[in-house]
Amino acid sequence: MRILLTGTNGQVGGALRPLLETGGTVIAPSRTEFDLSKPETLTKALDAFKPDLIINPAAYTAVDRAEDERELAFLVNATGTAAIATWSARHRVSLVHFSTDYVFDGSDDRPWREDSPTGPLSVYGASKLAGDLAIRAAGGPHLIVRTSWVYAANGANFLRTIARLAGEREELRIVADQVGAPTTASAIADAVAGIVLSNGSNLEGLFARNGGVVNLACAGETSWYGFASAIVAGLKSRGAKLAVKTITPIATADFPTKAKRPGNSRLDLSRLRDLFGVTTPMWQEALSPELDSLVAVQREHAGY
């Protein structure tokens, strides 16, 4: 099986690549070879790659910057995605695409189901929803994977930011009224690789039976404050040298950002468990190996 995997320099794409290589030939083009901001070039590239499966983690993900770069965000997340989806539908090649909790407005007090009404609050969320809708409109075999609060020991993410700030500041002020499930790139990769490699040529039927969309996140829930507290406690228990003494919970209103975030980012994982047979780890359990990796890298850079 020839698997086209985008975004391999990113967190999810990077975690997926070694897993997918155990079950097929992975085509991992660079951004210059496969640039979603140049949708007019994608059909020719796909014709040349001739994939049997497309997995697309690549996206415009700068949530706040998207408020000023609306055209670019939609070009990558909507128009570029639509070009891939059109090719996929024409050739009946299954497409696995990654979406986000930001397609919801966060107003409900229950976890969001796959069929919950969408209502993005930000340009980023709107651009991702537009991509989801383009995939459905194309009519090809697809699975839209909605996830939340993605992080890893590498890349730019909340874990890395908190680790850096905890080493520089005595107090951290962290939003406590936004709730979700911190989700490791490795947990996403494990689940997606398991689904596609174990089903092989049956993917089109599997995706169709399950509505073409599934929520995928770590189990459990917390706030950004709870996540930050767990990160700092985990770093301290591993002997990391930190400056931080206090972590203060604050309201979203006390930490204004250019893009509005959902207050409730919890995702209902029933379909993932019942129809795909996948159970993800608790977020605290998934955090532990990422902290191990992060501390190991920090020690290596420090020379001890």
193 forms bridges with which residues in the sheet? Answer: none
Closest listed residue to residue 54, CA positions, set 192, 191, 211: 192
Burial of residue 96 (CB within 10 Å: 0-12, 13-18, 19+) is buried
Instruction: Look at residue 119 and tell me whether its pLDDT is greater than 70.
Output: yes
Instruction: Give the type of residue at 161.
Output: T
pLDDT value of residue 200: 78
8 A C-beta contact, residue 267 and residue 217: yes
Q: Decide if 67 contacts 121 (C-beta within 8 A).
A: no
Q: CA 304, CA 302: separation in Å to the nearest integer?
A: 6
Query: Beta strand pairing status for 179-180 and 171-175?
Result: unpaired
- For 38-66, the pLDDT digits (tens) are 999 999 999 999 999 999 999 999 999 99
Pairing relation of β-strands 53-56 and 25-27? unpaired
Give me the pLDDT at residue 298, please. 77
CA–CA distance from 216 to each of 55, 121, 189, 239, 276 (Å)?
15, 21, 10, 32, 11
Pairing of strands 150-151, 179-180: unpaired
Look at the pTM and tell me if it is higher than 0.75. Answer: yes
Q: Could you give the residue numbers annotated as active site? A: 124
Mind listing the pLDDT tens digit for each residue in 22-38?
Answer: 998 999 999 999 999 99
